[in-house]
């Protein structure tokens, strides 16, 4: 457990769109001895707060993050933290979710969430979760230290030094899928595609469910002009984690190029049935385009109306849908009717 002094120093951000839940968590934290607490009412405010406080003495070190929020979802905040070099190794994230959904936990784990807690919970459970996360962060193994050093170097684009660090790690532990993946990413940047493929493939031999390595391998195959191979790899990743929006966009774009319109519809509708976590207008654009190519004009209209209706930037979404409409092969009268529909939204 943390000492009283360590608790007082820890800067915590509580993110939840329900004021009562924020208040409850804040009160729990106070009762546990945490006093540097900031609140955010949605994902946008959370990201703005992280940015604003970055250079302050109260720089956020720990985020208690609600998963299901409108507009900017918890997954987007998590991705922001874990993909930004300023935060990825400094700021820990505890995901708060209402139910023990396997898909939701897999989705968060893919983006390196540090832990999760299921509502409702008591102060003791919250304390245990925070302590476990910070123990792992503050007392890394020798291998973890090497891995973190390699990540920092790669983020600075010091690829030669980062590569040497990951190779050193792999010499000590040849079965580290994370190190193999990072080495593969560097080899991809260096355009050493055979070595990159070898690294990603070996990472997947060690961990067959390593979806991030699958995605890297698919990206590599696209660079190599092997789009059918990329699709095959992505289909495997989608089976493991069917709600990952970025991956659905990736495979959907490839399906469109190959004319696999039915596959797009089946994949996206399955993701929605499983509770796709966020409103993604970019996915709606592809879904509408697939329906247009199948001459399912009424369904395409419904998707367009929902996409614009849910959008924050309606004009941007209308513009993207108009591009998809113009590129479609439906009749000109149908196009004109849908243009009129979009203009009225």
The first and second tokens of residue 293, run together, are 């190519």
Q: Which of 95, 72, 92 is nearest to 17 (CA)?
A: 72
- In angstroms, the Cα distances linking 94 to 15, 18, 196, 307, 319 are 10, 17, 33, 31, 37
Q: pLDDT (tens digit, 9 = 90+) per residue, 216-230? A: 999 999 999 999 999
Going by the DSSP 8-state scheme, the letter that residue 133 receives in this structure is: H
Beta strand 62-66 with 11-15 is parallel
The yes or no reply on domain 140-241 and CATH 3.40.50.300 is: no
The first and second tokens of residue 183, run together, are 């080495």
Assign domain 4-138 to its CATH architecture: 3-Layer(aba) Sandwich (3.40)
Overall average pLDDT of the 85-102 stretch: 87
Q: pLDDT (tens digit, 9 = 90+) per residue, 115-164? A: 999 999 999 999 999 999 999 999 999 999 999 999 999 999 999 999 99
Domain regions of the chain by residue span = 4-138, 140-241, 256-345
Determine if the pTM surpasses 0.95: no
Which residues, listed in sequence order, are joined to residue 117 by a DSSP beta bridge?
96
Q: E-assigned strands of 181-265?
A: none
Strands, sheet with 115-118, edge to edge from the N-terminal-most edge strand: 36-40, 11-15, 62-66, 92-97, 115-118
Residue 98 pLDDT level (bands cut at 50, 70, 90): confident
């Amino acid at each position: 457990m943390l000492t009283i002094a360590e608790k007082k120093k820890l800067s915590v951000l509580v993110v939840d769109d329900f004021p009562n839940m924020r208040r409850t968590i804040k009160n729990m934290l106070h009762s546990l001895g945490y006093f540097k607490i900031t609140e955010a009412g949605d994902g946008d405010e959370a990201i703005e707060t992280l940015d604003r406080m970055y250079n302050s003495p109260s720089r956020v070190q720990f985020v208690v993050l609600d998963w299901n929020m409108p507009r900017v979802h918890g997954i987007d905040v998590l991705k922001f933290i874990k993909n930004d070099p300023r935060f990825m190794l400094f700021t820990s994230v505890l995901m708060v979710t209402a139910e023990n959904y396997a898909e939701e936990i897999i989705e968060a784990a893919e983006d390196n969430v540090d832990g999760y807690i299921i509502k409702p919970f008591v102060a003791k459970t919250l304390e245990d979760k925070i302590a476990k996360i910070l123990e792992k962060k503050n007392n890394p193994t020798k291998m973890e230290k090497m891995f973190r050093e390699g990540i920092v170097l790669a983020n600075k684009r010091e690829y030669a030094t980062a590569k040497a660090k990951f190779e050193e790690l792999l010499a000590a532990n040849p079965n580290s899928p994370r190190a193999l993946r990072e080495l593969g990413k560097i080899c991809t940047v260096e355009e050493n595609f055979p070595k990159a493929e070898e690294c990603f493939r070996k990472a997947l031999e060690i961990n067959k469910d390593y979806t991030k390595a699958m995605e890297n391998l698919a990206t590599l195959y696209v660079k190599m002009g092997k789009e059918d191979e990329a699709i095959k790899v992505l289909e495997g990743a989608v089976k493991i984690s069917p709600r990952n929006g970025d991956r659905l966009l990736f495979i959907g774009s490839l399906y469109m190029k190959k004319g696999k319109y039915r596959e797009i519809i089946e994949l996206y509708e399955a993701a929605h049935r499983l509770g796709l976590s966020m409103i993604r207008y970019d996915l709606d654009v592809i879904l509408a385009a697939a329906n247009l190519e199948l001459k399912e004009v009424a369904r395409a209209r419904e998707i367009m109306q929902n996409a614009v209706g849910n959008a924050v930037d309606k004009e941007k979404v209308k513009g993207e849908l108009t591009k998809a409409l113009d590129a479609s092969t439906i009749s000109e009268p149908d196009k004109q009717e849908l243009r009129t529909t979009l203009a009225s939204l």
